[in-house]
Structure 1
């Protein structure tokens, strides 16, 4: 560890001592234990979202949408919609509306990753998503991970990761173990034969061009053990119980319907869901040979001199730019024809 790393960790440690917060120390102890039980960082792949730099907040960037898209174009489409609805609902000024709609028109034609409109900079940002692994598989939630104040098993479709509005500030102190992780991730790049040469080159280049690391809030998802490997079975959600609720809903409704299970199979899933709910804070359930687990997911965004990293040349898209919303005039009239 270099002297710069040691100085930064010493500063974080001094801050913890100065605050003398018992809850923080318990969280740190929990993180230390997890680092021994789940020492391996397992990359799940890139994720994309949007960030904005407002005039009054520059040079700081803030997260505008959840960083959960699987492809850059999905995030560009989100930016297209965000700017279109700004033009529709958030201004009565024709000049501001023209500026917003010009950015929308550009996003309809070209796969651009940054636009300026109404005084703000908008950027498609790229992150990496990873889980921790150990001898017994992927890391489940920790005892100190936050839970909702009121836990319910009722279906709620709007539980999303909680990074909206957070600053992408690599220097923000977040605890000793988190600080150590950020410092270790500064030199992280892809390796191994499972990645195309372009992805390997871009990853090495990103360490140089975007050397700092900002961590997004921890999220959770449901994974399934299948053929010796873990695969995701849900989107990211903000708390362990949100993921438990997704798992319960999957067992009782979604997965039997999607896979066309017979009556015996549906009954087995229903019994497993009942056992899972009765345990209240369980993070794993088996149905025959299938194993499902609530998994803890972490995400990082690289940052450089001009802010967060955007998509890399080797990141691929599933569809080209396209028109998403009907044309709008500078006076706000929408052409639905």
Structure 2
């Protein structure tokens, strides 16, 4: 097959990087190949939803949900937002069409819908990390990281609005990485057989792909050299640090039932990470070591656009209205105001709520202090 006969979705278009920042990023990516030569799958798939564009490609609306159903729920929210916009503009037919799509998603597992002439689809993404002699790759100097500690949630998503279009040019290093990732299929014996079969099938049905902006997760070192994911991928390195400090101050004391000495040790580690944001922190005299890890995210593309959910994807929850009906049938659902007696919160939940409130107040106080009077 000659270059002219290669379908656009299988094309990896390499172009010269005009801006100094893009050129520096491409150079960093090349150095990462040498320092972190091994590429590994980073946990389970991740999901989102996208809209097909008239001018080509698919615009990402949301990305980062852990199951297809989470993305269907988010897509329903998108249609409700569009319905509200149509109502405000006096478009009753548009409002009705958008609401019908949202209601359908409340009851059915639908991964693609055409609404107001546009196709929307739940998309499947894969996550990878690089690993070298020093462990998994940390953030690179060129990775955007503008937020102060505790404030990363205020930044817009780096994936919302991103266009999945294989025809868009990329740097040499990113093009090589994309080629490397597209050749990876799940290893026999490491995953269930149906997961491997779907991975092999996707390589045939969706042989092209697009790299989304990198994400960042927290990994914990287990033993001498083994690292395991501790959080999902976050928007920026600081967002990952914020997720870790929230865990150290709020989740760990409750879920691990820490005594006061251990709580103090976890608090000190969180304080250190806030005062000197870095990519690694040790807790309790090195008993636990956490690291910010760079995550590459790939969406496969075929002749009809980005890959949707696979049959083997973890997707345990029914649509929201089906779930509500099931709870009602079991007597486990009450509407607000229904007389069902008092269901008191457990002591664990009360403690959790207290720590959340304390951490939120601490972060707000820090933010106000940085802004000044």
TM-score where L is the length of structure 1:
0.83
Partner of 1:333: none
The separation in 1 between residues aligned to 2:152 and 2:22, in whole angstroms, is 30
Q: Cα deviation per residue 1:268-311 (whole Å; 9 max; x = unaligned)?
A: 12222333344x34210111310011111110001111111101
**How big is the shift at 1:87?**
1.9
Out of 248, 253, 257, the residue aligned to residue 251 of structure 1 is 248
> 1:51: which partner in 2?
50
Counterparts of 1:308 and 1:245 in 2: how far apart (Å)? 31
SS where residue 65 of structure 1 aligns?
strand
Q: Does the aligned pair in 1 maintain the 2:159–2:213 contact within 8 Å?
A: yes
Query: Which of 227, 231, 245 lines up with 2:228 in the alignment?
Result: 231
Residues 113, 37 of structure 1: CA spacing in aligned structure 2 closer, same or farther, 3 A cutoff?
same
Q: Distance in 1 between matches of 2:201 and 2:232?
A: 30
Provide the rounded CA distance (Å) in 1 between the counterparts of 2:149 and 2:260: 23
Residue 144 (structure 1) aligned with residue 142 (structure 2): yes
**Structure 1 unaligned spans of 5+:** 327-335
- Determine if the alignment matches structure 1 residue 187 to structure 2 residue 183: yes
- For residue 102 of structure 2, what is the aligned residue in structure 1? 104
How far is the alpha carbon of 1:42 from its aligned partner? Answer: 1.4
The Cα offsets for residues 37-87 of structure 1, whole Å up to 9 and x where unpaired, read as 211111122111000124xx2542110112x11211111111122212322
- Secondary structure at the aligned position of 2:267 is classed as helix
User: After superposition, where does 1:145-184 map in structure 2 within 5 Å?
Assistant: 145-148=143-146, 151-159=147-155, 161-184=157-180
1:165 Cα deviation after fit:
0.9
How many residue pairs align between the two structures? 314
The answer to whether the 8 A contact 1:161-1:237 is kept is no
Q: Is the 8 A contact 1:155 1:249 kept in 2?
A: no
Inter-partner Cα distance in structure 1 for 2:151 and 2:236: 14
User: Which of 318, 321, 332 is the matching residue for 2:319?
Assistant: 321
**Post-superposition offset of 1:137:** 1.8
TM-aligned CA distance change 1:39 to 1:105, over 3 Å: same
| Maintained 8 Å contact 1:161/1:236 | no
Partner of 2:365: none
Match of 1:222 among 208, 215, 218: 218
Say which structure is richer in helix. 2
SS of match in other structure, 1:90: helix
Shift of 1:103: 1.7
Asked if the contact 2:185–2:200 (Cα under 8 Å) also holds between the matched residues in 1, the reply is yes
Deviates more, 1:222-231 or 1:289-298: 222-231
CA contact (8 A) 1:140 1:296 kept: yes
Give the secondary-structure state (helix, strand or coil) at the position aligned to 1:291: strand
Distance 2:262 2:236 in 1: 29
- The answer to whether 1:73 aligns with 2:75 is no
List runs of 5+ in structure 2 lacking aligned partners: 325-335, 338-373
Task: Deviation per CA, 1:224-267: give whole Å up to 9, x if none.
Answer: 12356433333432222332333334334443344332111112
Q: Distance in 1 between matches of 2:236 and 2:291?
A: 14
Is the Cα contact below 8 Å between 1:45 and 1:130 reproduced in 2?
Answer: no
Deviation >6 Å, runs of 4+: none
Deviations 1:118-167 (A, max 9, x none): 1111100001011111222211111222221xx42234544564111111
TM-score normalised by structure 2 residue count: 0.76
Partner residue of 1:60 out of 51, 57, 65: 57
